């Protein structure tokens, strides 16, 4: 038993002897959960309380579900801490942060092979979701302006995309009243190409969405093929349909490991590209980028000019206030790593993912869907009927701390349930081997569990007979 005698000294009440770390330090009572408490508590107690609760979260290093960065260098952490108190939108107050933001836009414009221009056009966003919505809004306005000018109807805009798109595309369609024309998937085809797109486009199509690294399997739509089709249609029918490339994950991978793959502004109809700085841009959440091919792709309708922060400032983000830290961290990564550093990291992640995929395939227990061909993502389903589901396997892996999502593929391929492993910079070869061992242990353990359960059921049945 610990002694907790209260003595009174010159400085008032204090405890003598040992006390347990938390008792009597604001941790012995129920904590405020639903109503703001009338009185506060000391900073260290509040810190400890929140800190301890978040221990119940998963371990970010073992989170193979998320595409989002879970590790940065200490210098980047420091830089981010130093700029936590700067509101990014206050360009007049923090002009250098805005200069740095523009530098990143210019670097990305060049990286994505936008036509040569004095100042590349784009903006940082809170993530790819905001960037996609903005890009699609730009296409909606451009289409409407064109139709108005031609004296044609502009009340039924649509957009064409595969069922392999991220939810944000569906969100855009609903929030901004654009008819979504969704190309279904089928077992064995989890992306789209020109053959599928051709059947869906018409004069009211504001844009075609093409994905470089889908959320479901990490594969890529045939962007070059879709571009070729749209050029043919432009020539034949006069419909100038742009492509928005969702490079949320692939945008920071392809320029370094698939240099020959044409997916960016080298393709004429690609007018806007989004990329997540917080995915393979290697920055903590939330940072995305939207890059325009050139000024002609940015309609005036989406640009606002505000003067209430001092100076006149153009803005075309959906959000207003946001942190500066991630933007500065993106610039840090770009100058710290350079193209050579990004190439090394991306190649390493691809090779670790491919190594893992090879191991998984070799067991003969799984059917591989993707083996890190475009981005470092491995997806696989169970082979045959081992007597348990991918959901059970995912749950079993969680017992060891690994977070691996199990889910079904999009509509029309939704009978297929898979597991996905997203390999990030901090998933070393050693981690890949440890994960593989645990995957097989989990598989074998589930396989063994089944007869056990069967026996129990049998025993119960026997009892009843007696
Ligand atoms: C292909 C794709 N597009 C868009 C998004 C949304 O990106 P964000 O989380 O950066 O908003 C994701 C997220 O995983 C994605 O994989």
Query: Measured in angstroms, how far is the CA atom of residue 2 from the centroid of ligand 1?
Result: 52
412 neighbors 186 (Cβ within 8 angstroms): yes
Ligand 1 test: best mutation among 69, 163, 164, 166, most atoms within 8 Å of CB? Answer: 166
Task: Say if ligand 1 is within 6 A of residue 106 CB.
Answer: no
Burial of 249 (0-12, 13-18, 19+ CB in 10 A): buried
pLDDT of 411 > 90? The answer is no
User: In the chain, how many H helices and how many E strands?
Assistant: 11, 15
Please name the fold of domain 77-336. 3.40.640
The mean per-residue pLDDT over the stretch 373-387 comes to: 97
Q: What is the dihedral of CA 131, 133, 134, 137, to 10 degrees?
A: 160
348-463 classified as CATH 3.90.1150.160 = yes
353 neighbors 378 (Cβ within 8 angstroms): yes
Mean pLDDT of the chain: 91
Beta bridge partners of 367: 381
Query: Measured in angstroms, how far is the CA atom of residue 247 from the centroid of ligand 1?
Result: 9
Closest CA to 81 of 328, 334, 337: 328
Of 14-28, 110-124, 397-411, the range with the lowest mean pLDDT is 14-28
Of 3-12, 181-190, 196-205, the range with the lowest mean pLDDT is 3-12
Query: Measured in angstroms, how far is the CA atom of residue 29 from the centroid of ligand 1?
Result: 41
The mean per-residue pLDDT over the stretch 182-211 comes to: 97
Grouping H, G, I as helix, E, B as strand and the rest as coil, residue 431 is: helix
pLDDT of 226-255, one tens digit each? 999 999 999 999 999 999 999 999 999 999
The mean per-residue pLDDT over the stretch 197-224 comes to: 98
Element (H, E) at 444: helix 429-465
How much is the pLDDT for 449? 86
Domains 77-336 and 348-463 share a fold: no
Domain residue ranges in the chain: 6-57, 77-336, 348-463
Grouping H, G, I as helix, E, B as strand and the rest as coil, residue 446 is: helix
Tokens 């940065």 sit on residue: 72
Of 27-41, 81-95, 112-126, 210-224, the range with the lowest mean pLDDT is 27-41
Beta bridge partners of 276: 288
Grouping H, G, I as helix, E, B as strand and the rest as coil, residue 25 is: coil
Phi-psi region of 158 (alpha: psi -120 to 50; beta: other; left: phi over 0): beta
**What does the buried/exposed string (b/e) look like for 111-144 if buried means 16 or more CB atoms within 10 Å of the residue's CB?**
bbbbeeeeebbbbbbbbbbbbbbbbbbbbbbbbb
Closest CA to 248 of 212, 216, 219: 212
| pTM (2 d.p.) | 0.91
């Amino acid at each position: 038993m610990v002694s907790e005698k209260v003595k009174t000294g010159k400085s008032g009440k204090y405890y003598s002897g040992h006390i347990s770390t938390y008792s009597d330090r604001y941790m012995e009572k129920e904590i405020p959960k639903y109503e703001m408490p009338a009185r506060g508590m000391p900073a260290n107690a509040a810190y400890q309380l929140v800190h301890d609760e978040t221990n119940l979260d998963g371990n970010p290093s073992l989170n193979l579900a998320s595409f989002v960065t879970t590790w940065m260098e200490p210098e980047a952490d420091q830089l981010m801490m130093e700029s936590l108190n700067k509101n990014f939108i206050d360009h007049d107050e923090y002009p250098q942060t805005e200069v740095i933001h523009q530098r990143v836009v210019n670097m990305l414009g060049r990286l994505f092979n936008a036509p040569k221009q004095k100042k590349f056009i784009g903006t940082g966003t809170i993530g790819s979701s905001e960037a996609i919505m903005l890009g699609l809004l730009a296409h909606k306005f451009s289409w409407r302006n064109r139709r108005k000018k031609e004296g044609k109807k502009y009340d039924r805009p649509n957009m064409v995309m595969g069922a392999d798109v991220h939810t944000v595309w569906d969100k855009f369609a609903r929030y901004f009243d654009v008819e979504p024309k969704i190309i279904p998937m089928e077992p064995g085809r989890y992306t789209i190409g020109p053959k599928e797109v051709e059947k869906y486009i018409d004069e009211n199509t504001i844009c075609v969405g093409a994905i470089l690294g889908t959320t479901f399997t990490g594969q890529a739509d045939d962007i070059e093929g879709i571009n070729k089709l749209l050029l043919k249609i432009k020539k034949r029918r006069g419909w100038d349909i742009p492509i928005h490339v969702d490079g949320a994950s692939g945008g920071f991978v392809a320029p370094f490991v698939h240099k020959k793959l044409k997916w960016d502004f080298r393709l004429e109809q690609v007018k806007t590209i989004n990329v997540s700085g917080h995915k393979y841009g290697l920055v903590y959440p939330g940072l995305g980028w939207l890059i325009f091919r050139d000024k002609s792709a940015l309609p005036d309708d989406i640009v606002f000019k505000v003067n209430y922060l001092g100076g006149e400032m153009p803005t075309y983000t959906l959000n207003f206030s946001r942190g500066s830290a991630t933007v500065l961290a993106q610039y840090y990564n770009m100058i710290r790593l350079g193209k050579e550093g990004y190439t090394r990291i991306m190649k390493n992640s691809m090779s670790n993912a491919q190594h893992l995929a090879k191991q998984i395939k070799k067991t003969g227990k799984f059917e591989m869907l993707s083996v890190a061909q475009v981005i470092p993502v491995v997806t696989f389903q169970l082979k045959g009927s081992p007597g348990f589901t991918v959901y059970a396997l995912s749950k079993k892996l969680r017992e060891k701390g690994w977070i691996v999502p199990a889910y079904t593929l999009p509509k029309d391929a939704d009978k297929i349930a898979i597991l996905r492993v997203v390999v990030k910079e901090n998933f070393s070869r050693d981690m890949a081997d440890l994960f593989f061992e645990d995957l097989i242990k989990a598989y074998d353990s589930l396989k063994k569990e089944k007869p056990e359960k069967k026996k129990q059921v049998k025993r119960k049945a026997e009892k009843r007979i007696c």
